[in-house]
Amino acid sequence: MSYRGLIMAGGTASRLGPVTQCVSKHLLPVFDKPMIYFPLSTLMLGGIREIMIVVNEIDLPAYEKLLGDGSHLGIKLIYALQSGANGIAEGVQLAQDFASKHGLVLALGDNVFFGNNLVSSISEGLQKNCGATIFLQKVADPSGYGVALFDEDGKLSSLIEKPKDLKMGQAITGLYIFDASVFEKSKELKPSSRGELEITDLLSFYLDESSLEAIELGRACFWFDAGTPQNLVEASYLIRQAQQRLNCQVGSVDLIAAESGWISERQLEKNLEKYTHSDYAKSVRDILFHG
């Protein structure tokens, strides 16, 4: 099965107010890169090269200025407009014409992933070829997340949204893989009490037909929901530490495109010319050309 990507970068971002009154949350910096680079790089690491980004109309020009049509990265980007905070699952409906004959890899625009097993975990999910796959990580306080529960045999048994009585649990991260049936399933969704089309309800359709799989990312992979001030600062600090100590670049779409052979060295240099005096450009060059 072939896959296309979907990044949800709309919404009101009220948790990060007041700064998000004047700029899209997903364009805020996570250390040395805009937040949107991280979900985009996650999809690119999975080999996804045709991607739709769902944005608010007022923010569209900024995304087009930053990312364009993706050709400078050897990928194809298109944009869809979300009129309001109507839920993550609405993005699936918006992507139907774009990806109806394909599977869909959906990434939340404010989720930051990195780690040694990230690529292998995504590859494992893509190779399942049917149903849906969620990616889980154990958290100490699951009350702010959707949580997956398992039965005595270790089989996925239920999904709970923001449980209040669990002291620890497997949180559902902001990365999902769906087969092509997701578009028909999304048409059956009804707005929740919040007035949104909920991703948990969409996943429940797959769970009910025993076609929902779960992959645990484990401790070798870091995951942040960077949609709060605290998490945004923590994610930035951790990215800084990782890059400086390991001489690496986390979330660099330019580096991933070059290392994947999607763009030439000449195109990479053209990309980096826009940031000639930045540490980011120097770091990408050093990693690619000097190891």
Which tens digit of pLDDT belongs to each residue from 69-126?
999 999 999 999 987 777 788 889 999 999 988 999 999 999 999 998 999 999 999 9
CB-based contact 204:89 (threshold 8 Å): no
Task: Please report, for the chain, the start and end positions of each structural domain, with discontinuous segments joined by +.
Answer: 3-137+171-246, 252-291
Instruction: Note whether 131 and 182 are within 8 A (CB).
Output: no
Alpha carbons 39 and 174: distance in angstroms, whole number: 9
Q: Looking at the domain that runs over 3-137+171-246, which CATH code has it been given? A: 3.90.550.10
**Residues 24 and 34 sit within 8 Å (Cβ to Cβ):** no
Pairing, β 76-81 against β 50-55: parallel
Phi and psi dihedrals of 103, rounded to 5?
A: -75, 170
Sign of the four-CA dihedral 9, 15, 18, 21: positive
Give the tens place of pLDDT for each residue, 227-240: 889 999 999 999 99
**Neighbouring-strand partners of residue 4:** 104
Cis amide prior to 18 (ω within 30 degrees): yes
**Helix ranges, 215-262 (H):** 229-246, 253-259
d(CA 291, CA 50): 29
Q: How far from each other are the two terminal CA atoms of the chain, in whole angstroms?
A: 35
- From the number of C-beta atoms within 10 Å of its C-beta (0-12, 13-18, 19+), residue 124 rates as middle
Rounded CA-CA distance 175/274 in Å is 30
For a pLDDT cut of 70, what percent of the chain falls above it?
98
**Residues 41, 217, 173, CA angle at the centre, nearest 5°?**
65
Average pLDDT over the chain reads 92
The pLDDT > 90 percentage for the chain reads 70
Angle CA(265)–CA(259)–CA(282) in degrees, nearest 5? 65
State the pLDDT at residue 169: 83
Strands (DSSP E) along 67-198, which ranges?
A: 76-81, 103-108, 111-115, 132-139, 146-150, 156-161, 169-178
* pLDDT tens digits, 189-229: 887 777 777 889 999 999 999 999 999 998 889 999 998 89
Lowest mean pLDDT: which of 4-8, 43-47, 75-79, 154-158?
154-158
- Cβ(182)–Cβ(173) under 8 Å? no
For 4-18, the pLDDT digits (tens) are 999 999 877 678 878
Place of tokens 């040694």: 116
The pLDDT value given to residue 141:
86
Q: Is 267 exposed, middle or buried (0-12, 13-18, 19+ CB in 10 A)?
A: middle
